[in-house]
Structure 1
Amino acid sequence: MQPLQFTCKKLPIPLLGCAVLLLISLASSCTEQEKNSLLQFLAGLLQDAGLAKLWQEGKDCCEWEGIVCNGNRTVIEVSLEYRGLEGSITPSLGNLTGLQRLNLSCNSLYGGLPLELVSSSTIMVLDVSFNQLNGDLHQLPSSASGQPLQVLNISSNLFTGQFTSATLKGVENLIALNASNNSFTGQIPTHFCNMSPSFAVLELCYNKLSGSIPPGLGNCSKLRVLKVGHNNISGTLPDELFNATSLEHLSFPRNGLQGMIDDTYIFKLSNLAILDLGENKFSGMIPDSIGQLTRLQELHLDFNNMYGELPSTLSNCTNLITLDLKINNFSGELHKVSFSNFPNLKTLDLLWNNFSGTIPESIYSCRNLIALRLSGNKFHGQLSKRLGNLKSLSFLSLANNNFSNITNALQILRSSKNLTTLFLGGNFMNETMPDNAKIDGFENLWLLNIDSCLLSGEIPFWISELANLEILSLKGNRLTGAIPAWINTLEYLIYLDISNNNLTGEIPTTLMAMPMLTSEKTAAHLDKRVFDLPVYHSPSLQYRKPIAYPKALYLSRNKFTGVIPPEIGQLKALISLAISFNNLTGPIPPSICNLTNMEVLDLSNNNLTGEIPAALENLYFLAVFDVSNNNLEGPILTGRQFNTFPNSSFAGNPRMCGPGLNHHCTSVEVGLAPTGSKGLVFVGVGVLYDQMVLSRYFG
């Protein structure tokens, strides 16, 4: 998996029944003490992003930007989120004796969190999330009984340490704690339930917590949200946990949990709306009692070791919006589940299981379905015309099944006008690629994958009409003919894989004029596009945005002839280029040295001649390089990143010489060798070479 990057896109923490504060700002003057406290906070900042100009000396601070007072001239709220503030938080804000809400989130504040704020006798809501604050939370002093703090959000900072029984001791009114995305260690705390009878929200995702789930969490009678995903939690789900019957959101993804989901306990959590146990080691079947969770909206059991058929009782979960069971060992047919009972279903992900039979007709009743992934199973038959009823469908992956009649499939899918992502590869074996004017309606597609089908025919003309296409994979077929001249009319195409076919002719110069590959600047609208589901190339490599794909041309294992076009140097944005196993002749064009973003370059198994251009040493990001099995001559490059490539990258060129090869360079040849900075090693990162050799597209 790619590491998750956090941005300041905040969701509100539910106050869960606490009284809503009615904040009325009246035209009155705050006290000098409060004004000075605010100005001391301002003075402690290195960067105030213009706040000082807004807080003018002599002006009533109750009218300052981000300040709210009550009718008694007392500051009760400071809201300075998203202000671009940089520096430390001074304790002076603790002198605001009437302060009830403090929000400094989404800035660049660092240092510790002042104890005066956490132990305040007035603050009810404290939000310092998405900053760079640090320190050990367990060092905070015990507070006086009756401390009013209800909501504490310290997520997305650099806090460390453990949660001990003394952490926030005395916060009897605490309702919600969000400490996600820090570096907390130790075990999941349970003492908040004992200290605060109204404690309802505990979010600890993306930390370094370990140990097992403490049974004491079952004593949290008011707990409604428990999120501890992306930690190192192990063991099983304790029976006592199911005593927390108020739970609405139970989330433990990407941990080391194991065991089975007990049929005799899960039904007790009748208020659950979200159950996320994905990316663990759970086994067994989905229990029949899952059907008693009638309020369930999201069920995530992906990336586990679960098996068996889906229970028919799942049909009782009529509020389902997301059902994610991908990458397990589930089997059988889907007809036991009545998908027509799920009018709100938007996402159904069954990737990489052992489901068989035909697609149940009831799925076509899910009119709100946006993302449907059935790839990597054993479904068969032709697609039903009713698939066209899914007018909201944007993401469809049927790859690696046993579907037949590709012409019929495309005719049906053309009515799904909202399709942006379409995976059909690994089906329709040995059929013919349809090429006629009647296949249209795919004008909104970003990604089209019809690979590994052994289809005959040529690259079809109807693809030229896909004006928004960014990613095209037709690899692993038996396509013949030349690369069509219209290829550069796909102005947004950044990724083209037509490897492992029987394509012939020369590599056209039109391919060297692809708009998105000739410019290092990416069209702004591409950056905003997001797949409805992550696209998997392998279990550990996924893409969430089309623009994250490498800018690549994969032309290997065809029958191309002629030379590598000198115009190749125009593709300045190119990151991966693979033209191996063809019949190319002539030299490696010097212009290829202009591709300074290149990370993967594979020219192996051709009939290339001449020497390796010395300027290739300037491709500092090059991580994979292969010119083996050609007719190249002269010394191998040995400077900079070329020190890191194995001898196999140059093998099979009888007239090439250098260290590790059978032919050792003469003094004349050594004199002609390029003189790079041999002490420097540049290792490119980013594109994985796996993309060039994967035999199966995950989808």
Structure 2
Amino acid sequence: MQPLHVPYSKHIEKIHMPYHGLALVLLVTLVHPTSSCTQQEKGSLLQFLAGLSQDGGLAMAWRSNTDCCTWEGITCNQDRRVTGISLASRGFEGSISPFLGNLTSLLRINLSRNSLSGGLPLELVSSRSIVILDVSFNYLTGGLSELPTSTPARPLQVMKSLVALNASNNSFTGQIPTASCLSAPSFAVLELSYNQLSGSIPLGLSNCSKLTLLSAGHNELSGTLPDELFDATSLEHLSLPNNRLEGSLDGIIKLTNLVTLDLRGNGLNGNIPDSIGELKRLEELYLDHNNMSGELPSGLGNCTNLMTIDLKSNYFSGELKVNFSNLPNLTKIDLVYNNFTGTIPESIYSCSRLTALRLSENNFHGQLSEKIGNLKSLSFLSLVKNSLTNVTRTLQILGSSRSLTTLLIGFNFMHETMPDDDSIDGFENLQVLAMNDCSLSGKIPHWLSKLTNLRMLFLLNNQLTEPIPDWISSLGFLFSLDLSNNSLTGVIPSALMEMPMLKSDKTAPMVFELPVYNKIPTLPYFRPGAFPKVLNLGINNLTGVNPKEFGQLQALQSLNLSSNKLSGEIPQPLCTLTNLQVLDLSNNHLTGAIPAALNNLHFLSKFNIANNDLEGPIPTAGQLSTFLDSSFGGNPKLCGHMLVNHCRSAVADQISIISTNLCGSEVFFAIAFGVFFGVGVLYDQIVLARYFG
């Protein structure tokens, strides 16, 4: 089954789609030599080696005084002719030698996952023998559409035996080549994703009568899907995601052998034709991030082999009239960001294999049915931003879902009361819980303390009162806590300083059943570990001083205590939190000087201490000098070059001299893991419901 998304970097964390690998695995058998390979073939291989600036140690393995049929990665037939070259992931740099074209018995060549550059040599693509050519995951350039259909020496014989070509994850330009459709009658697999191909889908693909896989996603293809494409009736996998394709799906009914249809991230419009029900073999349907509209056709329920339906980020509307009871193999349904109405159809709850269900950002209403308990394998459930009611009953129903690890139900249950401690039980495997933006009253409930596997907890934008409970530190895996914009009272409990995951760089492993997104749809997150370690207590009624124990939270990446009633000085141990990317202490009653050693927070991208009662010079010649005056405003006793109130030079010089001594040996530098986010993007990640449902 194809994953919902593959990583978008071309040369980092690249992965093949599994069904492509089935056609491209090089199955070879080594034959013990009875005689040596020819000098011509040995010379051709050595010429290939000579063209590499980095050979990954191959020169040591390929000794010129030995039989080349015994060389690493080389396979020969009984006649001592080279039939296979399998040298993937060897760290090669350099170009592909044209002398490989002299290997006239070569059937399979795999040079994938190296750092080869330049183009595909004409001598290689003119081969009459090659069956499988895999040069994916390199830095190759040039135009694939320029490959010749014939040469004077070999008229109409170019790659006549070719079955599979994988040139994905390179920098090829031009149009999709179609020459192989004419010259190679058995041509079946064309994998060109992650390149820079442009132009329209060529009509010549209809001549590929044996083509089973066409993959050209993540290119710059444009235009409509030509009717001729639907004449390639042997297609089983059609994958053209993230291009600029337009038009409708009319004609898709002809592709009755389709197993995978992936057209996500284009500009397709119109509706899904009811005739899609004729695609009896269809297992994977990805039409997300398009401009499609209308109601879902009831015929979709006739695709009885469907395992994944992903239609998110379109304009589909109306009630869900698909009879999901006919789809027993469904494991994932993703309909987020559409305009569906009515109640959630109970036929969904007959899909007993369902592991992920996302219906967020629609117009569903009413109470959740108890029949959702039939989904014994459900791990990921997101119902964010609908009009659901009765939060207590919802949690009582879902508590028995033992497989549930991610529950996102924010922007529902408006102005209801957080259920009390005795009425909720279960959730023993829950790891992510978001009940944000519901305007729930009450307090942080004690039943949350039973969720010992919880990693991320989001209760922001409610109306919760009373102090933060001390039992919060018993959630040993919790690394992201957002309680902002409530009415919590009391002091910041010392228990927060004992949270194990905020003291250590470790994160308990977990994988989302569906990718979650920030506001840029092309940046999916499959693991909670991709999110920063966060403590957000902003916009509450907390009082007292900031605990010095904050220095224990060495793994913390974002700390927000803004808009409370905190007093006292900025605690000196904050200067040791060298992983911090966000520090917001604004809108409190803080006094004293700014610790100059905050300049040691080199990863800090957002800093705000505005609207306090701080005094003295702003430390210069460090990280703090990179922030705008708005980060310091509203402190009339502060002075600095970025403020209207300038400091006397003698005082400023004194601060600069002592700035490196305030933390002494306590200051250490740690390389923060992962990707460091910009201010806006990081804040969006903290507030989960803002960018995924």
| Fold shared, TM-score > 0.5 on shorter chain | yes
Query: Which one of the candidate residues 193, 200, 217 is aligned to 2:181?
Result: 193
Partner of 1:360: 345
Kept after mapping to 2: 8 A contact 1:24/1:71: no
The one-letter code of the counterpart of 1:200 is: A
Kept after mapping to 2: 8 A contact 1:142/1:166: no
Report deviation, 1:37: 8.6
Q: State the distance in 1 between where 2:95 and 2:473 align.
A: 55
Q: State the distance in 2 between where 1:173 and 1:31 align.
A: 23
The answer to whether residue 316 in structure 2 is matched with residue 330 in structure 1 is yes
Q: State the distance in 1 between where 2:293 and 2:473 align.
A: 47
Larger mean Cα displacement after TM superposition, 190-199 or 657-666:
657-666
Query: Which one of the candidate residues 680, 683, 690 is aligned to 1:689?
Result: 680
The answer to whether residue 93 in structure 2 is matched with residue 114 in structure 1 is no
Partner of 1:93: none
Kept after mapping to 1: 8 A contact 2:307/2:331: yes
Query: Which one of the candidate residues 497, 513, 517 is aligned to 1:532?
Result: 513
- The superposition leaves residues 259-281 of structure 1 with CA deviations (integer Å, 9 ceiling, x where unpaired) of 2222xx12111111111111111
Kept after mapping to 2: 8 A contact 1:253/1:276: yes
Report deviation, 1:428: 1.1
Q: State the distance in 1 between where 2:148 and 2:619 align.
A: 60
The answer to whether residue 91 in structure 2 is matched with residue 100 in structure 1 is no
Partner of 2:268: 282
Report deviation, 1:689: 3.3
Q: State the distance in 2 between where 1:645 and 1:234 align.
A: 43
Q: State the distance in 1 between where 2:145 and 2:47 align.
A: 33
Report deviation, 1:670: 2.6
Larger mean Cα displacement after TM superposition, 274-283 or 24-33:
24-33
Partner of 1:313: 299
Kept after mapping to 2: 8 A contact 1:143/1:168: no
Partner of 2:29: 23
The unaligned stretches of length 5 or more in structure 1 are 75-97
Kept after mapping to 1: 8 A contact 2:53/2:94: no
Partner of 2:285: 299
- The superposition leaves residues 174-229 of structure 1 with CA deviations (integer Å, 9 ceiling, x where unpaired) of 11111111111112222221221221111111111112222222222221111111
The one-letter code of the counterpart of 1:531 is: F
Kept after mapping to 2: 8 A contact 1:119/1:147: no
Kept after mapping to 1: 8 A contact 2:488/2:540: yes
- Identity fraction in percent: 53
The one-letter code of the counterpart of 1:382 is: Q
Larger mean Cα displacement after TM superposition, 244-253 or 683-692:
683-692
1:45-194 matches, within 5 Å, as: 74=80, 98-118=81-101, 120-137=103-120, 139-141=121-123, 147-166=128-147, 170-194=158-182
- The superposition leaves residues 279-335 of structure 1 with CA deviations (integer Å, 9 ceiling, x where unpaired) of 11112211222122121111111011111111111111111111000011111110x
Q: State the distance in 2 between where 1:246 and 1:310 align.
A: 26
Partner of 2:464: 479
Q: State the distance in 2 between where 1:303 and 1:22 align.
A: 41
- The superposition leaves residues 39-68 of structure 1 with CA deviations (integer Å, 9 ceiling, x where unpaired) of 998897967579969x99999987777665
Q: How many residues align?
A: 660
Partner of 2:480: 495
SS in 2 for 1:295: coil
The one-letter code of the counterpart of 1:124 is: L
SS in 1 for 2:246: strand
Kept after mapping to 1: 8 A contact 2:28/2:84: no
Kept after mapping to 1: 8 A contact 2:559/2:582: yes
Query: Which one of the candidate residues 384, 389, 411 is aligned to 1:399?
Result: 384
Change (3 A) 1:658 1:428: same
Partner of 1:428: 413
- The superposition leaves residues 403-460 of structure 1 with CA deviations (integer Å, 9 ceiling, x where unpaired) of 1111211111122211111101111111111232453332222211111111112112
Report deviation, 1:543: 1.9
Change (3 A) 1:688 1:194: farther
Partner of 1:346: 331
Report deviation, 1:103: 1.2
1:405-484 matches, within 5 Å, as: 405-484=390-469
Kept after mapping to 1: 8 A contact 2:341/2:363: yes
Kept after mapping to 2: 8 A contact 1:273/1:296: yes
Larger mean Cα displacement after TM superposition, 394-403 or 100-109:
100-109
SS in 2 for 1:538: coil
Partner of 2:546: 564
Larger mean Cα displacement after TM superposition, 292-301 or 656-665:
656-665
TM-score w.r.t. length of structure 1: 0.88
Change (3 A) 1:66 1:212: closer
Larger mean Cα displacement after TM superposition, 589-598 or 636-645:
636-645
Q: State the distance in 2 between where 1:409 and 1:328 align.
A: 28
SS in 2 for 1:126: strand
TM-score w.r.t. length of structure 2: 0.88
Q: State the distance in 2 between where 1:297 and 1:122 align.
A: 38
Query: Which one of the candidate residues 358, 376, 380 is aligned to 2:361?
Result: 376
Partner of 1:86: none
Partner of 2:221: 233
Kept after mapping to 2: 8 A contact 1:600/1:689: no
SS in 2 for 1:286: coil
Report deviation, 1:594: 0.3
Query: Which one of the candidate residues 623, 636, 647 is aligned to 2:605?
Result: 623
The answer to whether residue 193 in structure 2 is matched with residue 205 in structure 1 is yes
The answer to whether residue 606 in structure 2 is matched with residue 610 in structure 1 is no
Q: State the distance in 1 between where 2:347 and 2:234 align.
A: 33
Report deviation, 1:15: 7.4
The one-letter code of the counterpart of 2:677 is: G
1:589-600 matches, within 5 Å, as: 589-600=571-582
Report deviation, 1:167: 5.0
